Amino acid sequence: MRVLTAFLAAFFTVTTLLPAQMGEVKAHMLSNGMKVIIQEDQNIPNVALYFFYKIGIGRISIVYN
């Protein structure tokens, strides 16, 4: 149990000291009024799409990974 506690303490200490993602964020406005925000990261071969719809008085979020 002590080994697990020591490992978790070391893991969380190291991960909190790591820098946050420092990628450049680009914003584009399409001709139909849609705003597109892009942050490119070439470190891993992964694509993540996030869709946010502002409709009426609320907000609907749909996330695809």
Q: Is the pTM of this model over 0.75?
A: no
Side-chain-side CA neighbours of residue 9 (13 Å): 6
15 pLDDT higher than 80: no
The pLDDT tens digits for 23-41 are 788 898 889 888 888 888 7
State yes or no: pLDDT of 65 exceeds 60.
no
Is the CB of residue 50 less than 8 Å from the CB of residue 61?
yes
